[in-house]
Amino acid sequence: MREFKPVKEGKVREVYDNGDSMIIVATDRISAFDVILKNQVVKKGKILTQMSKFWFDFTKDIVPNHMLSVDVNDMPEYFRSDKYNGNSMLCKKLEMLPIECIVRGYITGSGWESYKKNGTVCGIELPDGLKESDKLPEPIYTPTTKADLGDHDEHITFEDSVEILEKLYPSKGEEYAVKIRDCTVSLYKKCAEYALEKGIIIADTKFEFGLDENGNVVLGDEMLTPDSSRFWPKEGYEPGKGQPSFDKQFVRDWLKANPESDYKLPQDIVDKTVGKYEEAYQMLTGKALT
């Protein structure tokens, strides 16, 4: 049996080269503030992979995505074990674009801090009088650079994204920048509307895109997971304060309150975190994780 080693390791994911395709494994690692925590969160990788699968299927009418299969029987023998079953995705190879496509439907987090200072979020002027966690009149697109492991992403303007892509793809920069912006907003609107019907508010999220062998824009990486999004319960939603969440904001809040933790979570926080992830998965998909 051929053994595989990851060709790339991110904060949470491992990528394996499979010739004309690749295999992305979502581990049980968890990160916050661009740091990998010292705990494993059991089942988290499966939840991330299966949730991404759900959303990729749900949105393929808007933009194609890189998913080929989540069945390990479609993968090399090395991956046909409990270690990889459920948390692995066979994907098309893409040339990933160096832009993280962030969309915000509600004002919270760093956006709220910025708004309080000068009435803007990432240079975008917003109406006066907004309260923390308010729904925005329209979702706003606030891209960032895609930092290497250990570095921080930096906010950029849409015009910056055009310039970055133009340097890499002469005469195509604006076309690609417009395409990924428009897909980001369309994906968010469709999925946020669906999630709201299921009792979850998607406050913000991020997408990543790449190019296939023909230069077409394709959605890649993960999609609308608790790692890449802020999920709030619709029940009890009340602007004017921070909201309880289904995502790793729960972990961020604990770390902020415990600065001496050295990025190690107590077991009850780990258990509550995976419980939040599972609850969100069941609400959105209508089924329990198997």
Do residues 222 and 26 lie in contact, with contact meaning Cβ atoms separated by under 8 Å? yes
pLDDT of residue 232: 95
pLDDT of residue 151: 57
pLDDT of residue 146: 81
- The residue among 49, 38, 82 whose CA lies nearest residue 267 is 38
Query: Does residue 250 register a pLDDT over 80?
Result: no
How far are the Cα atoms of 81, 167, 174, 216 from residue 170, in angstroms, in the given order?
44, 6, 9, 15
pLDDT of residue 149: 52
pLDDT of residue 147: 67
How far are the Cα atoms of 6, 83, 84, 174, 263 from residue 3, in angstroms, in the given order?
10, 14, 13, 42, 32
Q: What is the CATH number of domain 97-210+222-250?
A: 3.30.470.20
- The residue among 178, 206, 192 whose CA lies nearest residue 101 is 206
Rounded CA separation 14/78 (Å): 14
The whole-number average pLDDT for the span 86-100 is 97
Distance of alpha carbon 272 from the chain centroid: 20
Which residue type sits at 84? Y
pLDDT of residue 176: 98
Which residue type sits at 61? D
Tens digits of per-residue pLDDT, 40-70?
888 999 999 999 999 999 999 999 999 999 9
Tell me the β-bridge partners of 273: none
Rounded CA separation 210/156 (Å): 19
Confidence bin at 207 (pLDDT 50/70/90): very high
The whole-number average pLDDT for the span 179-198 is 98
Reported as type and span, the H/E element at residue 159 is helix 158-168
The per-residue pLDDT of the chain, averaged, comes to 94
Confidence bin at 26 (pLDDT 50/70/90): very high
The whole-number average pLDDT for the span 207-231 is 95
Burial tier of 220 (Cβ tally within 10 Å: 0-12, 13-18, 19+): buried
Tens digits of per-residue pLDDT, 110-164?
999 999 999 999 999 999 999 999 999 999 999 999 866 555 678 999 999 999 9
pLDDT of residue 179: 98
The fraction of the chain above a pLDDT of 90, given in percent, is 83
Confidence bin at 236 (pLDDT 50/70/90): very high
For 70-97, b/e burial (b = at least 16 CB within 10 A) is: bebeebbebbbeeebebbbbbbbbbeeb
Rounded CA separation 270/36 (Å): 14
Do residues 218 and 94 lie in contact, with contact meaning Cβ atoms separated by under 8 Å? yes
Reported as type and span, the H/E element at residue 50 is helix 44-59
